[in-house]
Structure 1
């Protein structure tokens, strides 16, 4: 058996074991039927195995990339639908499709993040080969590949979370009022800014784009009192971008120092 295949199976096994542990510990608290509990645990095992392969579908390119990504999503969606049904999170097909659409949104968010990284790596190679015309004013072109990620993070994701709150008839908007603005939004913005800074240096338009993209959500989901949410994405994005740029300069100096050694 090839080493790559063994590593492939090992990731499935470890992910499945982790999913099994989560299912065994968690499902007894929310499910009292043995049959439903078994199916929910099975769904957790499947989702764990798919999580173990989370980067595998993105390892190839072209047609193989599309086939692997589609197959991975279909399997993940099937196990997720089983979990939704067994946990009684949806009353009908429309409810299941709603949860599946949120899964697709998350999948696209991760996929776009990886695609952005690839795009910028190719741009760096072109620059090293003298094929790139150089930085644009305010590095707008260098920032552009991150715009789809920002749109998903700052617009589609909060809308999806608000949809969940409406489905479960939550009295308090915990997801959009607490979890998203104070945890998901700043952490994701910081990581995205760090990624951009490591590849392209300081890009001042990136935190501005985060601010502008989230601004409509303030008035759509909240009111003027939530304007500070925009800074919950813009400031971490700026900090991450600067830290990434500093890391880039430090790495460049380190590499230059190695070249100067006899």
Structure 2
């Protein structure tokens, strides 16, 4: 049973924790807004580039040309980029992503497909321990200096590996933001590029003048698309990280408030019991004196 002093210490400790969680919530909101702005800046360029590549792929297919960056290969070797968070306190974000990836990797092993992992972030130790022999790149400080150029260093290596047939497919697994609250772990194919669309392309509505051959142009555009897609996916994962941390810290702050209220009630009850006991002792003592 706690005494009043112990309860006061607990209230003080939880109050300090509440201040920290509230501060972390506000910091995460600011960071989330910054990442959201970056995503919006990239979005239109990313979609325009996607449309251009789609049309050029359509043109090359109509000429019965096969480009290694758009034509599927027989899959024997896969590079698998996995984007974890760099910090904790973001709910089950990393755990849910691991649950999505592990069955997929086990299925690849059953089909005798060789895969190499490129791990970005560090907050999923169990996953790292389980697949440590399959890791090609592990950058646990990736998010320290995150920008497009930093991201391009990894994408440049992987694009070159794919070009020279070291890999037949490149995938990326990350948490995709659906709105400010919800997210879902996804696995998407980066290479070969497949831009499926139910809408028919009207070739008469567009045309291009090429300064080089179509294969070289398509390679350069695919390289650019590949770089941006990786950076865009990383930013989306970062957005879900901050969003999840905002929710986690908000819940922690609310729970601290509720706990402080409960402790105040217990403290007041103990205080009242002590006052009642003291009054009882005084009345008993006074009665004994009067009887004498």
* TM-score normalized with structure 2 length: 0.21
**Structure having greater relative contact order (Cα 8 Å, sep ≥ 6):** 2
Structure 1 or 2: larger helix share?
Answer: 1
Which has the higher Rg, Structure 1 or Structure 2?
2
